[in-house]
Amino acid sequence: MFDFDTPIDRRGTQSLKWDKFKERDVLPLWVADTDFTAPQAVIDALQARVAHGVFGYSRPSPRLIQLIVDRMAERYGWTISPEWLLFMPGVVPGLNFACRAWCRPQQQIITPSPVYYPFLHAPEYNQRGVSHLPMQLVNDRWLPDFAALEALAPQADLLLLCSPHNPGGTVFTRDELLRINDIARRHDLVVCSDEIHCDLLLDDVEHIPFASLNEDAASRSAVLMAPSKTFNIAGLCCSFAIIPNPKLRLSLQQAMRGLMADNNLLGFVAAEAAYAEGQPWLDAQLGYLRENRDLIMAKLGKVPGIKIARIEATYLAWIDVSGLGLDNPIQAFEAGGVGLSPGAQFGDAEFVRLNFGCPRALLEEALNRMLKVIDQHRQP
């Protein structure tokens, strides 16, 4: 029913991902959008709305709000109220406004490292100090260093959490989240949890929204979500925060005043259609992504000099290339025709990040090119 194999030519479409290498034979596997067309229900809804012809200021429909409420109950057993929702154009603005709203200027913001790079920049952009929480490889999964979190917490007001973790691909268990919650409770931290990849689970694991853990977690946290990564509609700019505590919600609204634009009308339309009718497409996409993930592990996972931890979620592979002896891995792979994200952006220059949300043939070609680079480097 769904075709993820047929290549879609994105050149000449103002694609950030593809325009970066438009004059070169480089396959772009870097920025985190996929090369799949969105669900047909989303396309149909957008075409119908465009045919209306008027594109004024807009608000989320009651149906979209109810779809989100129902989604939280059905997927997570989490009962939320519509008034807990704040809509915004993206999760990244939410991270930045969280820094303004929930951290005093003299205090620190704790952010994992490595992590999606806007986490690393948001404290600086908002004149706050940053404390880096090391992520450690434990039993083939990336986890926060809990002892380090305990040590950093007394000087901090806010913890930025990335769950599931980008770029590591870890889906945190209930016990792991409860350990974070316990430290946050004892040191009175607010937790802002970016959960944008929560629908992209590749293993038989459970995503647990942080604020759904218990009453204390609900009182001190905000959950940021969006349909953008799930349904490949990031360019339509629609996300939302779920904030049970009215005081935290009000302080975020105050931090946003005059600085946050209204959401894109078509983003609301796409989100509503995706949540209402997109699940069969999502199920098929997840099966395809699992096979892509497994192909990466088969082709690269046993190559001497490369290490890849288990990718439980996302369509991103966090690849340790430190054992290859490449002076500049990004340059070497680009010269061989593959464009990856540099690990230094995320906090560790010994890694690269590969986006496998693409047709299988493109991924196979990219992996073969990477293997050729590796082989050429090893030749005497």
The pLDDT of residue 378: 82
Residue written as token pair 């809509």: 87
To the nearest whole number, what is the mean pLDDT of the chain?
97
| Measured distance CA(208)–CA(53) in Å, rounded | 40
The pLDDT of residue 318: 98
Residue 310 buriedness (CB in 10 A; 0-12 / 13-18 / 19+): middle
| Residues lower than pLDDT 70 in the chain | 379-380
| Measured distance CA(372)–CA(333) in Å, rounded | 9
- φ, ψ of residue 378 in degrees (nearest 5): -85, -15
Tell me the two tokens of residue 216: 């204390």
- H or E element at residue 334: helix 329-335
Cβ neighbours, 10 Å, residue 83: 11
Cβ neighbours, 10 Å, residue 19: 14
The pLDDT of residue 261: 84
Judged by phi (left if over 0) then psi (alpha if -120 to 50, else beta), residue 300 lies in alpha
